[in-house]
Structure 1
Amino acid sequence: MLGAIGLDERQESAYRALVALGAAEVRDLAHRLALPETDTERALRRLESQGLAAQSSARTGRWVAAPPAVALGALLTQQRHELERAELAAALLAEEYRAEAAEPAVHDLVEVVTGASAVAHRFLQLQLGAAEEVCALVTGRPIAVTGMDNEAEERAAVRGVSYRVVLEREVLSLPNGIIELSAALGRDEQVRVVDRVPTKLVVADRSLAMVPLTGRGAEPAALVVHASGLLESLTGLFEAVWRDALPLRLGPGGQARELPPDAPDATDLEVLSLLLAGMTDASVAKQLDLGLRTVQRRVKGLMELAGVTTRLQLGWHAYEKGWVARDLRG
């Protein structure tokens, strides 16, 4: 928990124990932590350098903990300051990069990543760097990366990044296929399925894409594509596959269930009905105990499902398709 301010697990344990005891000798603290005395003293020295502990002036060999509110507060303030400086440096570098890349050379529009570890790392970076949306085509026979990365997706979802994923049907028969699908749907990701996808593909914010370069048996390699006509083509490829794919939901017993393209689920219909009744997104979220971003993502999904661009059009489409009924009693 305190790793963000530079403490490792032993140092954090030593500080927590020292806070609980108020003061302790190295021998007693080492016994409490089940560590050698030399390791315990080394941890205390590190805490001393961070201002979290000090040697007692009244008794030699005895250590006391610095008050957490004061000591940790100072370290957190320092970390925030350093993070702000890093963010500023990143913004300046990004601006410099944009200026240099105003008219990039052809060879700067793509990069080749070679080796399973490098490909997996770049794949993770692509997701963690996304700010708005990640689109992906997932094959049943991955080479260097298996499906999507649950941890990366969870971290991205916390930041409000939405996911649209098309799975090859074979993925659902893999050992962890249904588990991963359930986790994805639990994060309010939009997931669809087709018999075959043309290639594994990830597109982040429509500004960066990644596709495999090699087949099975060869050393894994991938092509990272920056803003260009090729990127637009890859984005168009995803959208074409997405339009033809069938939405997936988990039915009773955890069985994957394919829905017709024009069939929103029960929660979608609740959201839609409340919006048509005049409620705001925030009111709908509160009423249904959903997050505001979840409501907005569902509305966006319904608009895509209906093939419309405004909420007014969505309301008309909903009536025409029988998703909701007009109240004729008034």
Structure 2
Amino acid sequence: MLGAIGLDEGQESAYRALVTLGAAEVSDLAHRLTLPVPQTERALRGLERHGLAARSSARPGRWVAAPPGVALGALLTRRRQGLEQAEEAAALLAREYRAEEAEPAVHDLVEVVEGASAVAHRFHQLRLGARKEFCALVTGWPGDVAGPDDGPEDGAPVRGVGHRVVIERESLALPGGVREASSALARGERVRVTERVPTRLVVADGTLAMVPLTAQGAEPAALVVHAPGLLQSLTGLFEAVWRESLPLRLGATGAAEEAGGTPDATDLEVLSLLLAGMTDASVAKHLELGLRTVQRRVKGLMEEAGVTTRLQLGWHARERGWVAR
């Protein structure tokens, strides 16, 4: 919790214990933390540098905790000031970069990134650096964008940044595919499903894009695109795939549940997965339902919609708002 202001785990534990005790001998504190005395002493010296603890003048070897309201408040103030200065420096560098970008050299319009670690790191930079919207076409779920061994460092989208993702239908059949999709939807990401995406692609704020240069299984390499013309084409490619893909909906959310006579949460999950192209057996497996239960629910949906075929059910579900448009 206090790592954001520069404390490591050992220092935070020592400070919490010292605050609880008010003051303590090094040996007593080490016993309480179940740590060796030398390690406890290092933690206390670190707290002293941060102004969170001090040696007792009355009793040598005894340490006293600084009041959290004052000491932590000072650290927070310094950290905020440092962040504000960093933001100002970043804004200045961005203005200088835009000024230089007016007449960019041709070789500066694209950037080649090689190696799994470098590709994954660049992907995370694009994702965490997005300020408005992050868009992705993925062939697996979800780490295939970043590389074969590297998924996102933090699954939660940056607050205030929209996420739109198009996945391939077969991704839902992968182990944990439905669970990953459910997690993404729960985080507020918008997910659509298509039969096959033309290429892996990420676009951040329409100003940077990243596409793979190597086939799957080869040493990862990617192209980071800055060029306005190429960016416009890649953004157009994403939008075209997005328009033609089917919205994925799992669970009961939105207006469809609020109106009377609409399917329940499980019905909507079954319907959404069927519309995404999964078979009855696959839906039953992923939702941990019996095959006959799935078929019975589909029959009930058809009766509710007053239709006789599944094709008619799909059309009716879209018209009635049972699936996200």
Q: Tell me by how many angstroms 1:36 deviates.
A: 0.7
Instruction: Give the SS at the match of 1:154.
Output: coil
Secondary structure in 2 matching 1:124: helix
Q: Which one of 239, 253, 257 corresponds to residue 272 of structure 2?
A: 257
1:103 CA drift (Å):
1.4
Output one character per residue of 1:168-206: Cα deviation in whole Å (capped at 9) or x when no partner: 111111112111100111122221111110000111111
Supply the distance in 1 between the matched residues of 2:236 and 2:155 (Cα, whole angstroms).
Answer: 23
Q: Structure 1 residues 227 and 260, CA, compared in 2 at 3 Å: closer, same or farther? A: farther
- 2:46 aligns with 46
Aligned length in residues: 263
In the TM superposition, what is the alpha-carbon distance from 1:152 to its structure 2 partner?
A: 3.9
Normalising by structure 1, report the TM-score. 0.74
Paired with 2:90 and 2:232, the residues of 1 have a C-alpha distance of 26
- Give 1:257's aligned amino acid: S
Which digits, 9 at most, give the CA deviation of each residue in 1:273-305, with x for residues without a partner? xxxxxxxxxxxxxxxxxxxxxxxxxxxxxxxxx
Contact conserved, 1:249 with 1:259, CA < 8 A, in 2? no
Partners in 2 of 1:50 and 1:63 — Cα distance? 14
AA partner of residue 51 (structure 1): G
1:1-330 to structure 2, matched below 5 A, reads 1-140=1-140, 142=144, 145=147, 152-156=154-158, 159-250=159-250, 252=266, 255=270, 257=272
Q: Deviations over 1:202-259 (max 9, x none)?
A: 1111111110000133210000111421111111111111111111112528657158
CA contact (8 A) 1:143 1:220 kept: no
The 2-side partners of 1:112 and 1:259 are apart by: 40
* Unmatched 5+ stretches in structure 2: 252-265, 277-318
| 1:138–1:147 contact (8 Å) kept in structure 2 | no
Please give the alpha-carbon distance, in whole angstroms, between the structure 1 residues aligned to 2:129 and 2:18: 39
Q: After the TM superposition, which of the residue ranges 145-154 and 239-248 deviates more from structure 2?
A: 145-154
Matching residue's letter, 1:198 = P
Is the 2:124–2:152 contact (alpha carbons within 8 Å) kept by the matching residues of 1?
no
8 Å Cα contact 1:55/1:62 also seen in 2: yes
Q: Distance between the aligned counterparts of 2:155 and 2:237, measured in 1? A: 22
Check whether the contact 1:22–1:64 (CA below 8 A) recurs between aligned residues. yes
Measured on the aligned residues, the alpha-carbon RMSD in Å equals 2.4
In 1, Cα distance between equivalents of 2:62 and 2:80: 32
Q: Percent identity?
A: 71
Cα pair 2:54 2:65 within 8 Å, conserved: yes
